[in-house]
Structure 1
Amino acid sequence: MLSDGALRMLVLLHFNALGFSPVQLAWLFLLYEVAGVVTNLAAGWLAARFGLAATLYAGLALQIAALLGLTLLDPAWGIAASVVFVMAVQGVSGVAKDLAKMSSKSAVKLLAPTEQGALFRWVAVLTGSKNAVKGLGFFLGAALLALAGFDAALWGMAAVLAAILLAVVLFLPAGLPGRVSSKESWSGWRSRDLRVNRLSLARMFLFGARDVWFVVGVPIYFQSVLSDGTAEGRREAFFLIGGFMALWIIGYGAVQAMAPRLLGGKAQPEAAITRKAILWSGLLVPIPFALALAAWAAGGPAPWLTGTLIAGLLLFGFVFAVNSSVHSYLILAYGSAQRITRDVGFYYMANAAGRLIGTLLSGVSYQIGGLGLCLATAGLLALASWLAARRLAPDRDGMA
């Protein structure tokens, strides 16, 4: 997660400084998100056949390959060739990240204690710490770009990740499950549980609502405000933008870890947590719409708009984090142990599809209508997530 966040910020800021448009920047991450959709479908099946340790090793190895691959980028190439090459390498990175994430999340279901509330606590801690580390990666990527440059940063991260892979191979606990018993074939990729399918739909729109501003729109707005166009100004902007994105992700992770306490206690029945998932999904909807109105009222970059944007996005992050943590608990609560890797894989496929939708709409909406349209689009996706979450209500289809 550290290298994933660092690589994303490194690529975004480096290619924005080279003059890539918002749509071109979105294209750089397109295959990364497409790879996430495919990988999460395949990863559940692969883990069921070959074991969670194997998919974890594969994820780390592929991330090293992606980092080294980007060092081959030639500045003499044209924009079209550069975009295609970086898209392909980012696709490998997307596969790597989702293999590692699916492995860790599935292991929690199989290893967590069985007493009531234990699964929610374990999921909250894992998800929160994962995103806190990813947030540090955002700052690390921006800092490495400013201090060491693009190529040196890539080589350094690849070396560190290689050492981590070696340590994981040598010291991985023996209790991590191997192959998961399952009689289902590849054709059983879609869950038979309506709750899993509905939760996955809500998750898709939730992450679309985040990434539609997170991937391109807001970072590019901040760079236009913070950089004066000089080399020194760009370096300062890299630090400030990376710092904000890191703060947002770290705060998001911290809130996720505290979600069981924020929601009123650890040992709550599944139905009560489902109702709270619906409530918190609705609380997210007005925030991006309010920020879009502020952006349209400002008519362009302004100090008060920047301050409002920072405060509003931190509030968005708080509510989003609670939603995300509850979703991460519910997918493991709904999923059966016999096909947990398949259900988690399907759920994270929807998660990746949401990021794909958000990535595409981020570049397009910012190019067409600027920051205001970007944030309004986030509001529409948050609304769609709430409507999907309402179908999780415990009294639907006889669910308890």
Structure 2
Amino acid sequence: MPMLSALSPQLRQYMLVTANYWAFTLTDGALRMLVVLHFYSLGYSGLAIAMLFLFYEIFGVITNLVGGWLGARIGLNKTMNIGLLLQILALAMLLLPAEYLIVPWVMAAQALSGIAKDLNKMSAKSSIKMLVADDAQSSLFKWVAMLTGSKNALKGIGFFLGGLLLSLYGFSMAILLLLLMLTAVWLFSLWRLKADLGKSKTKPKFTELLSKSRAINALSAARMLLFGARDVWFVIALPLALASQFGWSHWAVGSFLALWVIGYGAVQSAAPMLTGKTRLPDGRTLTLWALLLCAIPAAIAVALQQQWQAETALPGGLLLFGAVFAINSSLHSYMIVSYAKSDGVSLDVGFYYMANAMGRLIGTVLSGWVYQQAGLAACLWISSAMLVATVLVSTLLPKHQA
């Protein structure tokens, strides 16, 4: 505690926001893996499992749009703590005996979890804008990259934790352990997080939800396509293919995806070094990195269809995709915080992450449906097509430093 007191107030708040975001992400990743693997073991099809997450993604779209407005009115500390509380309630809903965990109930719990996740994420990303000076864009890039990368590393550990807890304790006990951990974090956050962080000087009207910035609109469209391209094969199709087609155990699937997301987060954190230290990212930077990503899913699909070293091509291609995708994601995360207005920052950030949630929703539904109808290779071809569209939209971004 004396060491923390010696730090600047801005750095202490950044550490609190980051720790809060970390803890939430750990439980969110674990919950995702628990639900996918548990209901797959009960005999649910890929499309049925995707439907369990339908409300999670739909309410994520709504939450980011409304949550940005709410954060500007009541403060980001409150929206962050509300998100934690809703995740606790979502976990509590899944503690019922197995015979009561029917699809509508699980979908409702996932809806709460989706609201919670996006309230927490929007609050964390918006908070950084308030803690870094406007003329310190290089520092802003590093702070955003560190928050985003560390979050995804924790999400990967959450995947690992979900698979481990399911194997060791079963579904109900795993959910209870996550609930107890997050409750402790929520109580600490209520105590220590600064009041009125990110609260707008003026009360924004509800009609101000939609962004009026051409750059933010273009960046949001590119984000929607980018994350749709990832989730169309990663969310449902990939873990089910590894389990059913390649014979991987729940432990192996959870561990591999955990390591992938941890590595993905590490690359995100290193993005400021990997993309060059002399200039800040702009529209040209984003277009070039999106172009690099396009061919990777198509190459994996060809390897699977031709049965050319499929057991090597799939994990190897996934690692390459993760590294390039991580840099794209980190560049996006910096640019939205940089483009956003300082007063009422959560309005712009919320609109942008609404598009992110829309991409996840599209990708999740397609992942379950296309995998069930045509297999993993078809999901990969759709991913590649969406990435081509991402490149085209990215060309509309300003070709100058943010």
TM-score normalised to the size of structure 2? 0.90
Alignment partners' CA distance in 2, 1:197 and 1:39: 18
Unaligned 5+ residue runs, structure 2?
A: 1-24
Q: 2:257 is matched with which residue: 238, 241, 245? A: 245
Q: 1:8 is matched with which residue: 25, 32, 35? A: 32
Which deviations, in whole Å up to 9, do the C-alpha atoms of 1:136-195 show, x marking residues without a partner?
A: 0000001000100000000110001001111111222x3771522235311111111100
Q: 1:310 is matched with which residue: 315, 325, 330? A: 315
Q: 1:127 is matched with which residue: 148, 163, 186? A: 148
Q: Say whether 1:277 aligns with 2:286.
A: yes
Alignment partners' CA distance in 1, 2:363 and 2:328: 17
Alignment partners' CA distance in 2, 1:5 and 1:57: 19
Give the aligned residue type for 1:43.
G
Q: 1:175 to 1:55 in 2, by over 3 A?
A: closer
Root mean square deviation of aligned Cα: 1.7
Aligned position for 1:96: 116
Aligned position for 1:143: 164
How far 1:393 moved relative to its partner? 4.2
Q: 2:187 is matched with which residue: 142, 150, 166? A: 166
Alignment partners' CA distance in 2, 1:134 and 1:212: 18
Q: Say whether 1:206 aligns with 2:226.
A: yes
Alignment partners' CA distance in 1, 2:180 and 2:39: 23
Question: Does the aligned pair in 1 maintain the 2:79–2:123 contact within 8 Å?
Answer: yes
Alignment partners' CA distance in 2, 1:158 and 1:116: 38
How far 1:339 moved relative to its partner? 3.0
Give the aligned residue type for 2:141.
F
Which deviations, in whole Å up to 9, do the C-alpha atoms of 1:316-366 show, x marking residues without a partner?
A: 001100000000010011111123110000000000000000001001110
Counterpart secondary structure, 1:71: coil
Give the aligned residue type for 2:220.
S
Aligned position for 1:32: 56
Alignment partners' CA distance in 2, 1:387 and 1:25: 32
Which deviations, in whole Å up to 9, do the C-alpha atoms of 1:96-116 show, x marking residues without a partner?
A: 011111111000001024424
Counterpart secondary structure, 1:13: helix
Which deviations, in whole Å up to 9, do the C-alpha atoms of 1:294-326 show, x marking residues without a partner?
A: 12112xxx8x20211000011000110000000
Give the paired residue count: 377
Q: Say whether 1:20 aligns with 2:44.
A: yes
Aligned position for 1:232: none
Q: 1:59 to 1:384 in 2, by over 3 A?
A: same
Matches within 5 A, 1:342-357: 342-357=347-362
Matches within 5 A, 1:224-303: 224-227=244-247, 237-265=249-277, 268-269=279-280, 272-298=281-307
Q: 1:103 to 1:336 in 2, by over 3 A?
A: same
Question: Does the aligned pair in 2 maintain the 1:73–1:85 contact within 8 Å?
Answer: no
Q: Say whether 1:392 aligns with 2:391.
A: no
Question: Does the aligned pair in 2 maintain the 1:278–1:393 contact within 8 Å?
Answer: no
Q: Say whether 1:361 aligns with 2:366.
A: yes
Question: Does the aligned pair in 2 maintain the 1:73–1:82 contact within 8 Å?
Answer: no
Q: Say whether 1:180 aligns with 2:200.
A: yes
Q: Say whether 1:64 aligns with 2:73.
A: no
Alignment partners' CA distance in 2, 1:73 and 1:367: 29
Aligned position for 1:194: 214
Q: Say whether 1:112 aligns with 2:132.
A: yes
Counterpart secondary structure, 1:338: coil
Question: Does the aligned pair in 1 maintain the 2:305–2:377 contact within 8 Å?
Answer: yes
| Segments of 4+ moved more than 4 angstroms | none
Counterpart secondary structure, 2:80: helix
Aligned position for 2:21: none
Give the aligned residue type for 1:5.
G
Q: 2:69 is matched with which residue: 42, 45, 48? A: 45
Question: Does the aligned pair in 2 maintain the 1:40–1:345 contact within 8 Å?
Answer: yes
Between 1:310-319 and 1:289-298, the stretch displaced more is 289-298
Alignment partners' CA distance in 2, 1:140 and 1:32: 20
Question: Does the aligned pair in 1 maintain the 2:216–2:352 contact within 8 Å?
Answer: yes
Alignment partners' CA distance in 2, 1:202 and 1:345: 15
Question: Does the aligned pair in 2 maintain the 1:8–1:138 contact within 8 Å?
Answer: yes
TM-score normalised to the size of structure 1? 0.91
Q: 1:340 is matched with which residue: 340, 345, 353? A: 345
Q: 1:73 to 1:191 in 2, by over 3 A?
A: farther
Question: Does the aligned pair in 1 maintain the 2:130–2:198 contact within 8 Å?
Answer: no
Aligned position for 1:231: none
Aligned position for 2:381: 376
Alignment partners' CA distance in 1, 2:383 and 2:269: 24
Counterpart secondary structure, 2:375: helix
Counterpart secondary structure, 1:374: helix
How far 1:74 moved relative to its partner? 3.4
Q: 1:116 to 1:88 in 2, by over 3 A?
A: closer
How far 1:215 moved relative to its partner? 1.0
Which deviations, in whole Å up to 9, do the C-alpha atoms of 1:60-86 show, x marking residues without a partner?
A: 1110100110112532x6xxx822211
Q: 1:184 to 1:175 in 2, by over 3 A?
A: closer
Alignment partners' CA distance in 1, 2:268 and 2:32: 22
Counterpart secondary structure, 1:177: coil
Alignment partners' CA distance in 1, 2:256 and 2:380: 18
